[in-house]
Structure formats: C-alpha cells, structure tokens
C-alpha cells in the first residue's frame, strides 16, 4: 500500500518523480471562496527552489506552478476556490538523466535505493525517482493554499543550527531570515555558515542542520485526541520530510533532563481575547495533543546529505562489493532548502486541524 | 473531529476515561487464525500496571483484560482470531474520584485541563478523564495482539536515560531489563536511579526520561512512501504517547552534527537470507521511509511528570489566579511506565506496515 | 482487511458476534455537550428488539444498552457527551448455542457461511457469528446518538411492500407506523400482512420486503462530491444491512422508464428560510450528490430470510452433498426488524454529512 | 469536506471541471511491476468518448490520456508501474464555454446547479463544472489500471433496458455489445433503440436506461465485512455515477417479491479449483458482503438526461421565477455512455478488494 495523501479534512495527494515530466499535488477539502491564483503559491516555491545560491544544488528549475482545477472567476470577479479539488502541476525542465545512469546498478548508501528495490522489486533510479526531495515542491505548493485557511496564524521557520554551529538565541531577529541564503535569523551565524557550507561543498562533503518552526496565533483548542494529537501529527509531518531524523515539540529532549518544577508552564490570568497568560512555554504550545494558545514550537533534525564525493562501501544490485562516490548536483546541506518545507508542513497540519476542530466542535 | 483510531490495515480504536467504569480497545483488521487468549495480552499489561513498586503511582489496578469478541475455538481446538473485530475490555477498580474533586475548577499546569476546556467547553476532570495516561493500557493490550502478527521481529524497549543520567552503552545488557523497576538495561544505572527516583518522589518532584526501542528482524521493504513512511508513522505513534516531547530515529538530532562521511552507513555483500551487511546504522534501519533490514532504532523523550507538590501559578475556570499543588497518586517519572507503551506502539506500527506492504506488494 | 468502522467525521466501530458475551459500538467524533444517557438510546433498540410479536424471531434479548465512556455529568448537571469516544455495550443473554451445532460442518445456502470460510479459513458458526443481523443492534444504538446531532431532521422508515403486497400510497398515514408489528403506515395493508407473515411462519417459509425511509428537514448543501455523494453514502449504508439487495433514491429504477419531461423537478420561488419550492421530487432530495432541501427518499429491498424449513441442496465443509433445513428461531421476514436499522443508517449518514459540511464550508 | 478519493488500498483521486484546461486522476496503491502505457488505457476512454455516434453528445473530445508519473522502463525493458502514484491527465479541447453563459444566473432543474450554490456559495457554471459527467473520464482511466490487477476477472457491462424497452434475455449475446452504439447485447433491441433514441434526440427529450454489469472469475473471499461489504462498496460506486438513482445486486428488488424457497441458491459439490457449484445465483455472487465465487451481478438505473428542450419552471440565483430550456450539446440518454463507467467502477472496486483481502488474509 502506497500512501501519497496527507491530511484528514484538508488533504493533498502528491505525485511525480525527480526526472519525470512533471510533479504535482491535488488538494482536496479546501473551503470555497478563498481568493487564489498562482501568485499566492509561487513565492513559497521560489524560496525552496534550487539553484539560487552557491550553497544549494545547481540544478535549475523554474518550479513554475500551474493551477489546473478547483478555482473560478465568476463574472469578472477575482478567481476563488470553488470547494472542488485543486490540481497543481510543476513541470520538470532540467532533468539531466545521464548524470544518474551509473547508479542504476548500484545502491547509494544513505539513499532509498536499496529500500525501494527491496520493497518494489525495481526502481526509477533517475535522480532517486519518487524518493527524491524534489517531491517536497508539491508539499510547498499545497502548503501555500493551507496558509489561506489560517490567516490568524503567523509562521516562521528558520535554521537554528548548521553543522553543529547554533545560532545565538539572544541575537535572533526573525526579520533577517530572508537576508541570507540559509534562512538564518542570526546574522552573525549566517556569516559563519557561509564558510562552513562553502568548505563542505568544495570538499564534496555535507552538513546537517536543525530547523525550528514557530506558529503564533494558533487559538487554544486545535488538535484531535488521542491518535491525531496536534504534536503527533506534526511529528509525522516533519519526520516524513526527506533526510529528517528527529522531531521535538517545545523543549523536546531537553525536557527529559528537567525536573517537574523546571519544566512547569505557570498560567496566569489573561484577557478575554487572548486567553490565559503563560509564564513559560516548555510545552511548545500543546498540552494533551491540543493547542493551548501559546506559540507552537517544533524543531526538526536534518541529517547531512548522503551524496558525498568520498567513496563509501556499497554493493551492486547483484550483491557485489563496490564503492560509491556521488558526483552530480547536490545540496551540501539539505536542511537549508528543507526549511520552507518544514514551514509548509506546519501550515498543512494547522489548516487541517482548524477544519477538524470545526467539524466536531462547530 | 475526534480521532481515537490508530493504524491503516491493522487498526485499533480505544475508549474510556481514567475514572469511568472501564476502558477498552477494538482491534480491527487482525488476520484470522492466530491463537489468542487473555494470557497472550495480560503479561504486557502487567508490565505497565501501576502500583508494582514504590517508584510508580500507588493506584492499584488489576488491569485484567477480557476479550469480548473476534475469537473462536472450533470444536475443542485452541481459541483463534476469526478476522472479525477483537474487542478488549479492562475494568477500572480503584478510581478514588474524590482525590480529584478540587481540580474541577482549577487548571493543572502541564496537564490537558485547560486545553480540553478550550476545545470541548467542559471536561471530565476525574483523574484527567480521557487525557489520562491510563488510556495507554488499551494500547498495550492492542500491541500484544500486534506482536502475534510479526513473530519475525524481536522488540526491546528500555529507559536509556533518567533524570539526565544516561546508561553506559558499553555496560548495556538487554537481558537485565526485567531485573529492575526501571526497564533499565544497565544494572549500575538502575542502582543509581533508585536513589534519583526515590528522592524525587519524597520531594514531591518529578523526573523525565528517554526511552529507546529497538526492533530486530524487520525485513527490508516495510514502510509506505511518502506520507506513511515508517519513520513518520513511528514518530506519530511515539509523540502521541502522553508526556512525550521528542522522537528520534537512528542518530536523530546527533546526525545533524555529523558530516556526510561520519553519518554514512556503508553497505557490504551479505547473504541471500539476511540481505546486505551494513557497517553502521546511523539511519536507524529506515531509508526513504522504508525498512532496510537493519534494526529499527527509535528514541523517545518523556517530560517530567507535571503533577508535583511544589505550588505552581495557575488559574481557575473563571480566570482567577490560584496556585496548584498536586497531591494524589502519581508516577514520579512517567517515562518508566511509558516504556511498555513505547514497545507496544512499535509493535502496532510494524504489524500495520507488514500488512500494508502485503496489500500492495503481495 | 476488515472494515468495521462507518463514517468519516461522525464514525462508529462495531464489534461482537451473535453468540458472544456481548456486542457493542464505539462512537467517535460526536460533538461535545449533547445531553445523553441510556434512555436516549433504549427506545430505538426496543423497536428492533426480537421476540416482541409472533411475526419475528422468538429469541429473547433485553438488548439493554450501557454507556461505558464519553459522557460526564459535571457538578450535578445533566450527563452530556464530552467529545471523547462513546462506548456502548449490549450483553447477549439468550444465545442457545446448541441450536446451531449441526451447522458447524454444513453451509446454509443464502447465508454467509461458505463465504466466511472461503475468506477466513474458518468461522464462528454460532448463530452466524459476526455475519448475524444481531450486529445491527449496535448500528441502531449508534444511530440514536446520531439523531441528537440532527434535531432539524425528521425521520420516518416504514415497510412499503411485504411479500409483494404494497401499501396504498393514498391511504398512507405515518402516525400509524407504531400501531402494528410491521412498521406499516397503511392500516389495511398491515391487516393483510398479518395473514401473509403468519402463513409464511407456519409454513417455515419466508418473505421479502421493501422499506422506505424519508428524511425531512435536511437543509440544502449536505453531501460531499464526488466520491462521498450523499446518495452514494446512503447506498452503501443501506446495501450493507444484512439481506439487502437493492437501493433506490427518489424514483430509483422507475426513473429509468421516464422521459426527461416526466422526471423533471420544476423549481419555483420559495421563501428565505425554506429555500426554493419544488413542484416534484423525482430526485429524492439529492442532486449532484448534494441535498436540495427537499425530503430525502430512499427505498431498500430486503430478500426473504434464507433460513427456511424446506430442505435446500447444500454441501458440507468437506464438499460433500447434503441438504439443509433450517430449524431454530428466525424472522419469517427480516425486512420488518430491518426497518429501524434503515432509519438508523439514514440518521448516521446525515449526522456525518452535517459535520462534514461544517468542516469544509464553516 | 470534499471527498474526491475512492478506494481503500487501491485508491484514486480525480480532479478537473468540464471546461477547465484538463482533468485527471492520481492512482495510488497500485502494485509494482505491472506493464502499463497509455495504450492500456486509451481504448476504455474511447468507448466512453463523446461524439462518436449521433446518439450521444456532439462535443468532440479526443480524451487522449497521458501518464505523468509512476511508471518506468528499466534499461530498455517494458514500461512498468513502480508502486508510486500514477498521475493521469486528459486535456479538454472542445469546451465552448459560451454555450453555458446564460445558465450562470439560472438553475437547471435536475442538475446540481442549485445544490452546489447552496453548498459552496457559488459555482463554476461552465458545463456544470465539477458536477459534469465529464469527470467520469478520469474514473474510466483509473479503471483501466484496476483491470491489470484482476486478470482473473472478466467484466461485461451493457445496457439491458433503454427508455423502458428491455432486452430479450434469451437473445442476449455478449459478443455483440460492441456492434452497436448502445452497448446492447441483444441485436434486435439495439435496432429498436435506434429509433427510440433518435426520436428523443429530435424531440429534445431524453430517456433513462438500466445498465447491468457482470464480473466472472472473482474468487470466493473478497469483501470486507461489515462496513465495506463488497455489495455495499459496489452500491456506493454505482450510485456515485452521475444520473444514477438505483442499484441492485443479484435479483435486487425482485428478490423482495420472492419466497425463501424461490430465492434459494442451492449449493452442490464442485471442483477443487472452481469451488462449489451453485444451482442459481439470486444473490448475485455475494453473501454476507463476501464474494462466493459465482458471477457478481449488478444493475444500475440511470435517470433520463435532465437537459431537455421543453421549458421547465425554475428560478434564478436571485430567486425569481424563470423557465429553463436547455440547448447545447447533450446525450439524449446518459445511460449509454455511462456503461463503460459502470464497468470501470466494478473493476475499481474489485481491484481494491483483491488487495484488501490480501492485506488481512495473506
């Protein structure tokens, strides 16, 4: 069983391979009447788009999205969602399949090559086929629609650690995220990372990263206990992103080292509109799987890119020993371009849960 | 929308509150013909059962499970699953509702009290109602059935860190997990933890923990890309356990600090039966969301119990300031009794994905 | 894969066999705050209950329902739904397993005996096990909760044809449905049916029936195109009832014999509140899978009970020829007691779609 | 909530409107390794394609399908499914939106116009938008892939009654279905229908039809009790086709007029391979929701096309009285082109249930 659909009320299904003619998403369950055209989606795809700096892959893709259905402009009015499925398509233009011909018979360690063969009996090896992170473009496109459903929420995703070098939380300024090629909110760290990533790139090595995403403005009450808790859904959403190996909500693993007193989030009288005030947010905005009205805080660990120039022991499809040295065009740190994907998945989970909450609780 | 069902092919639905008459699970999609009676389930419930040592809550529950449907002994043969829903019921016997009467009007910080009120308008406050970890007994019972579906898999869950004190990986001996009240595989650490937990208990404080679960024997090929990846499903399964704040697969967050060379899992020629040999397992047995045949390794962070004797600022349902000091019977470290739950969730995800794989790939 | 859950937002999962200790349902997704206790459910179970007239099976079951979770009376107030799963349980008390011992090795024609064996390899043959219509008690119980969600809707299900003898539409009076043991809205037909059914019963024969269900008050706009159209969901709901072989919406098969002019449902200006007026309702209240505001009309064909005294050719589990003559306690016309089940399924589909509509369209 | 996905293991999601740039389907869960290219799909689309005889709409559409993902030809071999989502796209080429401009403000009786407005607040009125039967092209395309999964099954769908004129069952010859423009298996009836449909077309009137579909070769054991019974799933699949108002399995409504003796399907010793022999098939090949190994027989009632030239009372969006006389290009009998859709839905349900059965029962 193949599961290429995400979500419960606001759902999207993606399709496409790295080197096929196109990739896309079908968004189902979107409320009607939302103004939507390609310009609402394209900026988010542009943020994830390859080839924009020397710190990411040099594959060139316009990633131009086309809305194929589900919108209508009635009598000269603005184009709006109709409540029917919204099909999105992004054509692939710079596939260069020849780069990958030699891996047809060899398993790249750390990639899904062997696992796909073990599962399906064979695989589309061109650029990793369906297992390529190129699929995440479809998530980002769907995420742009999700944002329209949750205008009350402000999202910010950023790299908070790269190659083991963390940002200075005191120096963090979210307004600077777009000023550097790393989605880094600490200008000093961004400067240091230039050198780090450039060195990795030149060495044919790679680096990991930690991405943090904060959602402000989520009202208390979203989340569906007990098997679609908001934090559980976020965990699945994030762990399902290519190269992700860990997810934390709030203090995450650090909470396991605190005492109950240290980890407490005291509550104080608040206002009619904003709900209670909280003196801390160790919980990351979620209790019992339900949002508390505090900012939702999620952290995601990306492993270093598995494609490196250093030869690594591997085997062929026939089981013979070989060595793999991955040439071609790769991101030296996949966590960077993973940042807009993390933000998109946060939007997708929240939009879905806003509608889920409305379904049961009116 | 309330979501109390977990799984895709092998599914279970749980019900019940901490202080209701009973709790239970309905397991659907179980293959027919598996020998099953209560004795296959009870030992796992006993491992999670409260009141067994001074290091856990003193609530006394027999947690005796009763199978209400879905099994049949044909003509004197052994009782077997019939392929129809298996209903499991566990009666609550030691509710002591009076312990909780004072929290009806007050929100316990760190608990789901406020979030449930915000979502549903009111709540069953007796022992936390549905948000109580008592619900996890139903998961453990369902997990015992899941184990029957995956006899090829060996599971081991254990506490690898408690109150910030980690086990010595060199001294780790899985055969000792049952020898101490902490599911600790390092006898020396278990000794230290006795003091740690006892002090926390006497101080009315609490401690966090990290639980690790390893599944050996999972063949390559389980997992459903791209939105039901095996790691994503595990992440949801684990993050959905009460008090969990973080999940790692393989090296997890540590992988974000490695270089591509350090993080590589070299492959070597293996055997016909066992598949390739791997020289390392940074990936934790999953690539591209699909099992690789290596052991699946998952780590789960439990926050310290929110119920502590130290007064914490809070508010009443009417929004007035108050302080909460939680008396009653609580686990000083919920991660301990969370360990069998982690193992059960691993079994449930794997059983589901074994059947999912069979559905598509025969 | 076994599917014992029905619904999308308002879902229920049933369990239990004809001769097990109990049967039940877990209702998930119910809105919070609805007043609910056993007395809201029992009358509907009583309507379906066996042993109430000589025209139905003589099996005696109290069918007393018990609510096991999901409700709470806060501080002396009325017991209300909390938004968590509502578990319902009905104990079996009059199983008489010995009646069925001889069918363990023989397939009853028209029953699911052979099909279950072919699917699952063996079966719980006591009273038909899970395939028994006794399972529908759980649907009726869940349906009683569904009714609370749609107070704007009035439901009426009745037998409109029995043994080929149809009611007189001119003489139809819905207020008389409860005055006879056949859920018949035409007193003259009810009188005739007494003789028909009594003769069938004495002859050890059986009769079929057609049940009609009308839902008034459904607002325009419920239904989820294109694969959960309101009529498609009703068709599945009704066809899934034991012994049902046909479903019609509106004019049904008769519409296939009309011209476009004859089948038209002209629309006329209506009122702000009630929407447009319609001059006819050939469509049965649904267009494009969405309710139009007209009464929803559904008709359901029940085959004659397969259990008859006349010997019918059959085979044993070993494939040898035999004859089956079904003694024991059976309904001579299962359509009669199927009537409350039809009404329950209508309620369940409508409640689900009210919430589904709210999820997407606010 | 919008539901544009059908199926459980073998699932497809469709998108597109009558007058949008294209329509399509994403097929998920298809087993890997099946040979597939466009030529496996196109013939089925051609059978449903408009404009092929004077008895159907004159809209001209090539309905050329393009496979956008999910297939791969490895090293010169045949193109095969990879187990990843198969995206199918069909461009619209002959939209003529101007034909529909006048219905923007008027509700066509019998169409979904009013219902969509009531649900979504506005609608894409061009050719009926999403509610157009043009969407069924996507089902037929997906159905062609489903057929590859069930090579053991032979499908035959045909019109058995048109405008109230039924075929002669004695004269039925399935090999003649393709010899006439009506999918009629009785050549004499086909001749009569020429006149019937031609007259309706010239009069601007329309006719209904009954389509029958028989699936032979389905082994015993498919079907998922109790809420995804094979007959219930077929009922939903068929009732969800545009213009369908009734569904029967086996004898359907006629069974309600038979006695138990008349309706019996006696079983006789069969063969190891073929299973038991049945002396009759009143049940239509399904018992207890599970296939019995007999041919599965389903009948589907199509109402007459709602678009007719005779003026019918209606209202405008503003609620004013008007009359609607539908010009433009329409099928005088939608049941004809509905026939390949019925066959496709049968294939889709059976393929899904073959995989569902494999998931649970191996």
* pLDDT for res D147: 98
Q: Which of A329-338, C4-13, D107-116 shows the lowest per-residue confidence on average (mean pLDDT)? A: A329-338
Q: How far is CA B122 from the centre of its chain?
A: 27
**Set of chain D residues whose Cβ sits within 8 Å of the Cβ of B356:** 359
Q: Which of C76-80, C98-102, D17-21 shows the lowest per-residue confidence on average (mean pLDDT)? A: C98-102
Torsion of CA B91, B96, B98, B99, to 10 degrees: -120
Contact B215, B231 (CB under 8 A): no
Query: D13-25, pLDDT tens digit by residue?
Result: 999 999 999 999 9
Q: Which residue, among D256, D258, D341, D358, would best test binding to C if mutated, counting the most C CBs under 10 Å from its CB?
A: D256
Residues ≥6 apart with Cβ < 8 Å to C332: C55, C56, C197, C200, C201, C205, C206, C207, C305
Q: What is the mean pLDDT of each run of 10 residues along chain A (362 residues)?
A: 93 96 98 98 93 80 95 90 98 72 87 96 93 97 98 98 98 96 97 96 95 98 98 98 98 98 96 87 98 98 95 94 85 96 98 98 94
- Asked if C24's CB is within 8 angstroms of B83's CB, the reply is no
**Set of chain D residues whose Cβ sits within 8 Å of the Cβ of A22:** 68-69, 87
- Asked if B360's CB is within 8 angstroms of D29's CB, the reply is yes
Given a cut of 70, whether residue D45 has pLDDT beyond it is yes
Query: B111-170, pLDDT tens digit by residue?
Result: 999 999 999 999 999 989 999 999 999 999 999 999 999 999 999 999 999 999 999 999
Report the b/e string of B214-243 with b at 16+ CB within 10 A: bbeebbbbbbbbbbbbbbbbbbbbbbbbbb
Q: Is D109 assigned to a binding site?
A: no
Chain C, 220 to 249: residues with Cβ < 8 Å from chain A are: 225
Backbone angles phi, psi at C263, to 5 degrees: -85, -5
* pLDDT for res A169: 97
- Asked if D84's CB is within 8 angstroms of A124's CB, the reply is yes
- Asked if B9's CB is within 8 angstroms of D361's CB, the reply is no
Q: Which residue, among B27, B77, B87, would best test binding to C if mutated, counting the most C CBs under 10 Å from its CB?
A: B87
* Interchain CB contact of C197 with D (< 8 Å): no
- Asked if A355's CB is within 8 angstroms of C32's CB, the reply is no
Q: Complex ipTM, two decimals?
A: 0.97
Given a cut of 90, whether residue D326 has pLDDT beyond it is no
Nearest CA distance, B76 vs chain A (angstrom): 37
Q: Which residue, among C112, C224, C227, C357, would best test binding to D if mutated, counting the most D CBs under 10 Å from its CB?
A: C227
* pLDDT for res B99: 57
* pLDDT for res A103: 82
**Set of chain A residues whose Cβ sits within 8 Å of the Cβ of D33:** 120-122
* pLDDT for res B103: 82
- Report the pLDDT averaged over residues B316-345: 92
* pLDDT for res C96: 63
* pLDDT for res A100: 66
Contact A11, A4 (CB under 8 A): no
User: Which among B198, B271, B240, B195 has a CA at the least distance from the CA of B341?
Assistant: B240
* Interchain CB contact of B4 with A (< 8 Å): yes
* Interchain CB contact of A356 with C (< 8 Å): yes
Axis-axis angle for helices B334-361, D334-361 (nearest 10): 130
Nearest CA distance, D331 vs chain C (angstrom): 12
**CB B130: neighbour CB atoms within 10 A?**
30
Q: Percentage of residues in chain C with pLDDT exceeding 70? A: 98
* Interchain CB contact of A358 with D (< 8 Å): no
Q: Is C263 assigned to a binding site?
A: no
* pLDDT for res C2: 85
**CB D266: neighbour CB atoms within 10 A?**
18
B309 vs B206: CA distance, rounded Å: 9
Picking from A15, A83, A86, the nearest residue to D87 by CB comes out as A15
**Set of chain C residues whose Cβ sits within 8 Å of the Cβ of A361:** 31-32, 83
Nearest CA distance, B136 vs chain A (angstrom): 10
User: Which among D169, D214, D206 has a CA at the least distance from the CA of D308?
Assistant: D206
Nearest CA distance, D221 vs chain B (angstrom): 12
Work out the angle at residue B326's Cα, subtended by the Cα atoms of residues B321 and B331, and round it to the nearest 5 degrees: 145
* More confident site: D101 or D319: D319
Q: Which residue, among A267, A291, A321, A335, would best test binding to B if mutated, counting the most B CBs under 10 Å from its CB?
A: A267
Chain D: partners with 3+ C-beta pairs within 8 Å: A, B, C
3-state secondary structure of D340: helix
Q: How far is CA B205 from CA A192, A263, B300, B360, D205, in A?
A: 42, 11, 21, 50, 81
* pLDDT for res D57: 81
Q: Which residue, among A3, A4, A121, would best test binding to D if mutated, counting the most D CBs under 10 Å from its CB?
A: A4
Q: State the DSSP string of A137-166.
A: HHHHHHHHHHHHH-TT-EEEEEEEEETTEE
**Set of chain B residues whose Cβ sits within 8 Å of the Cβ of C80:** 122
* Interchain CB contact of A357 with B (< 8 Å): yes
* pLDDT for res B240: 98
- Return the half-sphere exposure (C-beta side, CA atoms, 13 A cut-off) of residue D176: 16
- Asked if B253's CB is within 8 angstroms of A360's CB, the reply is no
Contact C303, C211 (CB under 8 A): no
* Interchain CB contact of B118 with A (< 8 Å): yes
Q: Which residue, among A353, A359, A362, would best test binding to C if mutated, counting the most C CBs under 10 Å from its CB?
A: A359
Query: Token pair 């998108």 is at which residue?
Result: D15
Q: State the DSSP string of B243-267.
A: TEEEEEETTGGGGGGSBHHHH---E
Question: Mean pLDDT in chain D?
Answer: 94
Q: How far is CA C345 from the centre of its chain?
A: 5
Chain C, 26 to 85: residues with Cβ < 8 Å from chain A are: 29-32, 83-84
Show me where the domains of chain A are located: 5-250+285-361
* pLDDT for res D264: 96
Nearest CA distance, C307 vs chain B (angstrom): 23
Picking from A30, A84, A362, the nearest residue to C31 by CB comes out as A362
Picking from A4, A247, A361, the nearest residue to B227 by CB comes out as A4
- Asked if C246's CB is within 8 angstroms of D247's CB, the reply is yes
Given a cut of 80, whether residue C170 has pLDDT beyond it is yes
Picking from C1, C13, C68, the nearest residue to B13 by CB comes out as C13
Nearest CA distance, C167 vs chain A (angstrom): 40
Chain B: partners with 3+ C-beta pairs within 8 Å: A, C, D
**Set of chain D residues whose Cβ sits within 8 Å of the Cβ of A14:** 85
Query: D221-276, pLDDT tens digit by residue?
Result: 999 999 999 999 999 999 999 999 999 999 999 999 999 999 999 999 988 777 89
Query: D136-186, pLDDT tens digit by residue?
Result: 999 999 999 999 999 999 999 999 999 999 999 999 999 999 999 999 999
Structure tokens that stand for B319 in this block:
């929004």
Query: C262-286, pLDDT tens digit by residue?
Result: 999 999 998 877 789 999 999 999 9
Task: For residue D361, give the chain B residue with the closest CA.
Answer: B31
Query: Token pair 């992700």 is at which residue?
Result: A244
Chain C: partners with 3+ C-beta pairs within 8 Å: A, B, D
* Interchain CB contact of C9 with B (< 8 Å): yes
**Set of chain D residues whose Cβ sits within 8 Å of the Cβ of B288:** none
Given a cut of 60, whether residue C97 has pLDDT beyond it is no
* Interchain CB contact of A153 with C (< 8 Å): no
Contact B86, B36 (CB under 8 A): yes
Question: Mean pLDDT in chain C?
Answer: 94
**CB D313: neighbour CB atoms within 10 A?**
18
**Set of chain C residues whose Cβ sits within 8 Å of the Cβ of D122:** none
* pLDDT for res C59: 75
What CATH class has B5-250+285-361?
A: alpha beta
**pLDDT band at residue B193 using 50, 70 and 90 as cut-offs:** very high
* Interchain CB contact of A163 with D (< 8 Å): no
Determine if residue B293 is left, alpha or beta; phi over 0 gives left, psi from -120 to 50 gives alpha, anything else beta. left
User: Which among C4, C10, C92, C26 has a CA at the least distance from the CA of C349?
Assistant: C10
């Amino acid at each position: 069983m193949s599961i290429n659909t995400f979500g419960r009320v606001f759902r999207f299904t993606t399709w496409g391979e790295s080197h096929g003619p196109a990739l896309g998403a079908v968004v189902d369950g979107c409320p009607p009447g939302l103004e939507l055209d390609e310009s609402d989606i394209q900026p988010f795809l542009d943020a994830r788009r390859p080839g924009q700096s020397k710190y990411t892959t040099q594959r060139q893709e316009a990633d131009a999205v086309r809305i194929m259905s589900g919108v209508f402009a009635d009598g000269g009015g603005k184009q709006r969602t109709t409540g029917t499925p919204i099909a999105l398509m992004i054509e692939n233009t710079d596939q260069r399949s020849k780069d990958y011909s030699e891996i047809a018979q060899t398993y790249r360690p750390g990639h899904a090559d062997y696992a796909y063969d073990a599962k399906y009996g064979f695989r589309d090896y061109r650029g990793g086929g369906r297992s390529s992170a190129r699929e995440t473009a479809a998530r980002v496109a769907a995420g742009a629609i999700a944002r329209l459903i949750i205008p009350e929420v402000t999202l910010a995703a950023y790299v908070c650690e790269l190659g083991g070098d963390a940002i200075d939380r005191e120096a963090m300024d979210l307004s600077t995220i777009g000023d550097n090629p790393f989605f880094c909110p600490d200008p000093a760290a961004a400067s240091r990372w230039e050198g780090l990533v450039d060195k990795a790139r030149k060495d044919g090595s790679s680096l990991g990263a930690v991405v943090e995403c904060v959602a402000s403005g989520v009202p208390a009450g979203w989340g569906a206990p007990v098997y679609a808790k908001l934090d559980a859904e976020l965990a699945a959403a994030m762990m399902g992103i290519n190269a992700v190996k860990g997810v934390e909500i709030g203090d995450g693993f650090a909470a396991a080292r605190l005492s109950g007193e240290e980890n407490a989030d005291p509550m104080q009288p608040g206002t009619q509109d904003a709900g209670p005030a909280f003196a801390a947010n160790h919980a990351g905005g979620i209790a019992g799987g339900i949002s508390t009205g505090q900012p939702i805080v999620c952290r995601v660990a990306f492993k270093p890119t598995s494609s490196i120039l250093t030869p690594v022991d591997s085997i062929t499809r026939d089981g013979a020993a070989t060595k793999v040295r991955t040439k071609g065009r790769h991101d030296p740190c996949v966590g960077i371009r993973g940042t807009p994907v993390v933000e998109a998945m946060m939007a997708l989970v929240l939009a879905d849960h806003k509608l889920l909450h409305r379904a049961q609780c009116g």
